[in-house]
Structure 1
Amino acid sequence: MSHFLYLVRHGQQEHAEHGIDDGPLSERGRAQAHAIGRRLATVPFSQSFTSPLDRALETAAIIDSYTQGPSVTPTNLLFDCVPSSGEDAPAHYDSFFSGVNPADIEAGQAQMNDAISTFFTRSREDKHTLLVTHNFVIGYFVRELLGLPEWNWLTLGTGNTALTVLRRRSIRPDELKLFGDLSHLEPSERTGVNWFPDL
């Protein structure tokens, strides 16, 4: 038996390029959310959760209009955060962490510890859980599944409404089924990862 976790990054936020912390989706972000909603329409979700930030709430509401199962529930465990880099992060990341309040990093790590213990679970029957959240949170879940060093969540970036699917198995090894998949979007609709190549 397996617990499938479907992690979806929120759609493109309006005016995100201006450094605004939160806000509604842009027109493109709403189109992205409809596309991932259509893609997930036949998944038999047993539970659905979202970050309480506006860009995630709006994305989740659009997805919810397509999917079956219980309505999406906001939770602070999926809030946008900066977890710890651990003890052995490459010096390359020092400048990033120097710009973050240490108290916020401590809070982010505590949040991720709680999120992992709450959602990163096994099941005695097939179970499908939707999590609409943020880039760093998704990276942390994938790092946990793969057993990578603490800091590796920094290297696992995904685009807006990218789909990542983790499979927690009751007996056999866990699986990373999809990571950052954007096949529901045309190349011109893909945003949120500045290194993404033109295809």
Structure 2
Amino acid sequence: MTGRYLHLVRHGEAAGGVLTGNGRRQATAVGKRLAALPITALHHGPLPRAVQTARLIAAELPGVPVHESEACGDYIPPVGDRAALPQVFRDHLAEVTEAEYTEGEALARAALQAHARPADTETHELIVTHAFTVGWFVRDALDAPEPRWLGLNAVNCGLTTILYRHGRPPALVAFNEVSHL
């Protein structure tokens, strides 16, 4: 089917900001799973756990170009009216500064601008990122209100796939698919 398949993977299990042994095994497993697809590019965020996960996945995808991107990183996507959020989410975000909200909104919108669009030919792109960013893409694909990314929890090295086609709304093909683990 013609369109852009955007595959999103949350980084592997980490402790202290770096992958654990289990996180490395998870990353290698998802890489082997993705090797069956014609991945055209791998994008990843700049934090060590995403970089390490991307490197392990890329080892299973020879020849696929790898790109580091702030927009594929870890940030707070838009939440709308913070006062209207459920208390549990307000508590979770209590330490977020205005600067972090502003930067997160810009990065989240840049990520969608760069990746959440149809293609004229069938393409498969991969983003290795963080839970909030996976949730942001899924929220957008479902045309849900901005704060709904908060209720989505991407598992470590779970595979989420969104299909973007001309003239159709995005299709959530898979969310948190983990049969490779």
Shorter-chain TM range is over 0.9
State the AA in 1 paired with 2:157.
T
Partner of 1:153: 149
CA distance in 2, matches of 1:156, 1:68: 32
Written as runs of structure 1 = structure 2, the 5 A alignment for 1:92-171 is: 92-171=88-167
State the AA in 1 paired with 2:123.
K
TM-score, normalised relative to structure 2:
0.93
Matched, 1:10 2:11: yes
- Say if 2:40 and 2:65, in contact at 8 Å, map to a contact too: no
CA distance in 1, matches of 2:178, 2:135: 16
Residue from 17, 33, 44 that aligns with 2:38: 44
The Cα offsets for residues 102-132 of structure 1, whole Å up to 9 and x where unpaired, read as 2111111110011110111111111111100
- Say if 1:42 and 1:68, in contact at 8 Å, map to a contact too: no
Normalized per residue, the structure richer in strand is: 2
TM-align CA RMSD: 1.3
- Say if 2:117 and 2:165, in contact at 8 Å, map to a contact too: no
CA distance in 2, matches of 1:92, 1:56: 27
CA distance in 2, matches of 1:95, 1:138: 21
Q: Percent identity?
A: 35
Higher relative contact order (CA 8 A, sep 6+): 2
Unaligned runs of 5+ in 2: none
Partner of 1:64: 58
CA distance in 2, matches of 1:72, 1:172: 29
TM-score, normalised relative to structure 1:
0.85
Give the secondary-structure state (helix, strand or coil) at the position aligned to 2:39. Answer: coil
Give the secondary-structure state (helix, strand or coil) at the position aligned to 1:67. Answer: coil
Partner of 1:197: none
Written as runs of structure 1 = structure 2, the 5 A alignment for 1:20-39 is: 20=16, 22=17, 24-39=18-33
Give the secondary-structure state (helix, strand or coil) at the position aligned to 2:37. Answer: coil
